[in-house]
Structure 1
Amino acid sequence: MLTLYLGCLALGVIFAIVSVLVGDLIGNALGGIFDLLSFDFLNSTVLAGGVTVFGGVGVLLTRYSGLEAGSIVALSLLSAAFIGVLLYFGVVKTMDKSEVSNGFSMQDLPGKIGEITVPIPSKGYGEIMVKFGAGNTLHTAASFEHQSIPVGMKIVVVEVREGVALVTEFEDRRGEGS
Structure 2
Amino acid sequence: MVQFKDLNQLQRYMERGDIINTIFKDKNIEKVLAKEMSKAVRDVVYARYTPKQYIRRGDDGGLSDMRNMHITKVEVDGGKVRVLFENLTLGQTRYLPIYEHDYDSKHGQFITDIIEDGYKDSGDWYRRGVWSESRPFVQTTIERIQANPAPLINAIKSAYRKIGFEVK
TM-score (norm 1): 0.24
The structure that is strand-richer by fraction is 1
Choose between structure 1 and 2 for higher RCO, CA contacts under 8 A separated by at least 6 residues: 2
TM-score by length of 2: 0.25
Bigger radius of gyration among the two? 1
